[in-house]
A and B are shown apart, each in its own frame.
Chain A
Amino acid sequence: MIHPCSELRFISPEVGYGVFATQDIPRGTFLWVLDYFDRILTPAEVGALQPQLRTIADRYSYQAADGNFVFCWDFGRYMNHSCEPTSRGVGDAFEVAIRDVAAGEELTSEYGTLNLLTPMTCYCGAPSCRGTIRRDDAARHFEQWDEQTRTAFALSHTVPQPLLPFAKLGARDLPLMDALQAGRATWVPSSRDFHIVDVPEEVLFASGHGAP
C-alpha cells in the first residue's frame, strides 16, 4: 500500500506513470508497505499467466526474498527506480524514506533489491546513476544502502506512520517491529540478504528470457 499523501501522475510515453508526494514527508516514514491486498504469485503461477497478463505482471511485479512475485493492488506498483531513491526496502514489508521528501517530488525505490529477471537500462539522471540495474547489485552496494536504511529506520518511531496498521508482516519484520516499539532501532536486515541467486526456471522458460 502506497503512502496516502501521494498521487499517480503520467510522466511521459517513455517512462509511463510515476508516484508523487502531495505533501512533505519526513525521513523515516514508511512510504510503502506490503499489505493483505497485494497479490502474491508463485513462479509457476507467473509462468502460466495468459500472455496479456504476463506482460503486465513482468512490468509491475517484483520478486521478493522468498522467491514469490508481488503484484501490488494499488498504484504503489507504478513506483519507478532511481539510483538515488527516496526510499529503500527494509525487512520484508517496508519501504522507508531515507531522506525528507518534498511535496511534488517523485517517490522512487531501488530496483537493485527486487531481483530483476533481466538487467534494466537506467535513465534516472542521478549523479551516481549506475547505468544498468542488475539482479545482483545488492551484493556490491549493500554496505552503503544498509547504512542509509539504518539511519532512516532509527527515526521511524519519531514520525507519523499512517501505513503501519495495514502492513502484512513477514518473519524478518517482527524484530523490526519490536525495535520500532521500543524506540531503539539500531539494527536492520541487510539488503544483501534479499538477493536470490537462482532465477526460477518456470518463469524464464515461459517468458522466452532463457533456454531452451
Chain B
Amino acid sequence: MIHPHTRLVAIDSVVGNGVVATRRIPRGTITWVLDELDRPLTGTEMNAMPSCYDKLIDLWTFRDGRGHRVLCWDTGRNLNHSCEPNCGGSEFWFEVALRDIEPGEQLTNDYATLYMRPSEDFACRCGSPLCRGAASHEQVPIVVAAIQKQLQLALSELTLVPQPLSGLLRADWLERARELVASNLVAASVDAVVAVGE
C-alpha cells in the first residue's frame, strides 16, 4: 500500500501518470509496503496468460527478487523512474523515503534497483542533474551500492518520523532490511540475480 499522503496525477504525454506527495513526507518515512492485496504473479500464472498480457506485465509489475512479478493493487504501481530517486528499498518488500519529499514532488524509484535485465535498458529523460541519459543494466552494481548508503541512513530514522503504514510492516521484514544494508548484502543479492538472469 502506498503512503496516504500521495495521489496519482497526470505528469505529461510522454511519462503519463505519476504519484506525487500531497504533504511533506520526511526522510525515513515508509512510503510503500507490500500488502496482501498486492499480487505476486508466479511464472506459472504468467505462462497461463494470453500473449496480450506481455505488455501489461512489463508496464504494471516489478520484480521482487524471488522470481515473482508483483502487481500492486493501488497507485504503488505508478511510481516513475528517476536517476536521483527519493524512494528505495523494494527488495525489502517495503520502501522508505531516502530524503525529504516536498508537497507536489513525485515519488520515484531508480528502476536499475528493480532487478533490471539487459533487454530493459531505456533512454531516460528524468530531468535530474545526475541523469544517466540511458538507464542500463550495466549500471546496476553502482546504482545499488549508492542507494544502499542512503537506505542505511533512512532506515536509521524510521522511529523519528510518523509512520502511517506501520500497521502493515512486518517486524521480520524490517529486521531483514537492516541486516541486508548493514552487511552490504543488497548489492550482492541484486548482482547475483541480474547475473543469472533470475
Residues of chain A touching chain B, judged by Cβ–Cβ distance below 8 Å, are 36-37, 39, 45, 49-53, 56-57, 71, 73, 165-166
Instruction: Check if B196 is an interface residue, CB within 8 A of chain A.
Output: no
Closest to A8 in B: B8
**Whole-angstrom distance between the alpha carbons of A36 and B37 in the complex?**
15
Instruction: Check if B171 is an interface residue, CB within 8 A of chain A.
Output: no
Instruction: Check if B130 is an interface residue, CB within 8 A of chain A.
Output: no
User: Are A166 and B50 neighbours in the complex by a CB distance under 8 Å?
Assistant: yes
User: Are A73 and B71 neighbours in the complex by a CB distance under 8 Å?
Assistant: yes
Instruction: Check if B167 is an interface residue, CB within 8 A of chain A.
Output: yes
User: Are B49 and A36 neighbours in the complex by a CB distance under 8 Å?
Assistant: yes
B51 CB, nearest partner CB in chain A, Å:
9
B192 CB, nearest partner CB in chain A, Å:
29
Instruction: Check if B35 is an interface residue, CB within 8 A of chain A.
Output: yes
User: Are A73 and B50 neighbours in the complex by a CB distance under 8 Å?
Assistant: no
Residues of chain B touching chain A, judged by Cβ–Cβ distance below 8 Å, are 1, 35-37, 39, 45, 48-50, 52-53, 56, 60, 71, 73, 167-168
Between A and B, 14 residue pairs with Cβ closer than 8 Å are A36-B45, A36-B49, A37-B71, A50-B36, A50-B168, A51-B167, A52-B167, A52-B168, A53-B35, A53-B37, A53-B168, A71-B73, A73-B73, A166-B53
User: Are A50 and B52 neighbours in the complex by a CB distance under 8 Å?
Assistant: no
Q: Give chain A residues whose Cβ lies under 8 Å from the Cβ of B49.
A: 36
User: Are A37 and B36 neighbours in the complex by a CB distance under 8 Å?
Assistant: no
Q: Which of the residues B1, B37, B168 comes within 8 Å of A39, measured between beta carbons?
A: B37
Q: Give chain B residues whose Cβ lies under 8 Å from the Cβ of A71.
A: 37, 73
Q: Give chain B residues whose Cβ lies under 8 Å from the Cβ of A37.
A: 39, 53, 56, 60, 71
Q: Give chain A residues whose Cβ lies under 8 Å from the Cβ of B56.
A: 37
Q: Give chain B residues whose Cβ lies under 8 Å from the Cβ of A166.
A: 50, 52-53
**Whole-angstrom distance between the alpha carbons of A45 and B35 in the complex?**
13
Closest to A57 in B: B37
User: Are B39 and A73 neighbours in the complex by a CB distance under 8 Å?
Assistant: yes
User: Are B167 and A49 neighbours in the complex by a CB distance under 8 Å?
Assistant: no
**Whole-angstrom distance between the alpha carbons of A166 and B36 in the complex?**
24
Q: Give chain A residues whose Cβ lies under 8 Å from the Cβ of B52.
A: 165-166
Q: Give chain B residues whose Cβ lies under 8 Å from the Cβ of A45.
A: 36
**Whole-angstrom distance between the alpha carbons of A36 and B39 in the complex?**
11
Q: Give chain B residues whose Cβ lies under 8 Å from the Cβ of A52.
A: 1, 167-168
**Whole-angstrom distance between the alpha carbons of A49 and B35 in the complex?**
9
Q: Give chain A residues whose Cβ lies under 8 Å from the Cβ of B73.
A: 39, 71, 73
The 4 closest A-B pairs by CB, nearest first: A36-B49, A165-B52, A39-B39, A53-B37
**Whole-angstrom distance between the alpha carbons of A137 and B185 in the complex?**
57
Closest to A45 in B: B36
**Whole-angstrom distance between the alpha carbons of A137 and B126 in the complex?**
53
User: Are B71 and A165 neighbours in the complex by a CB distance under 8 Å?
Assistant: no
Q: Give chain A residues whose Cβ lies under 8 Å from the Cβ of B39.
A: 37, 39, 73
User: Are B167 and A50 neighbours in the complex by a CB distance under 8 Å?
Assistant: yes
Q: Give chain A residues whose Cβ lies under 8 Å from the Cβ of B45.
A: 36
Q: Give chain A residues whose Cβ lies under 8 Å from the Cβ of B1.
A: 52-53
Closest to B60 in A: A37
Closest to A38 in B: B39
Q: Give chain B residues whose Cβ lies under 8 Å from the Cβ of A165.
A: 50, 52
Q: Give chain B residues whose Cβ lies under 8 Å from the Cβ of A51.
A: 167
B172 CB, nearest partner CB in chain A, Å:
15
**Whole-angstrom distance between the alpha carbons of A53 and B72 in the complex?**
13
User: Are A50 and B50 neighbours in the complex by a CB distance under 8 Å?
Assistant: no
**Whole-angstrom distance between the alpha carbons of A36 and B47 in the complex?**
11
Closest to A166 in B: B52
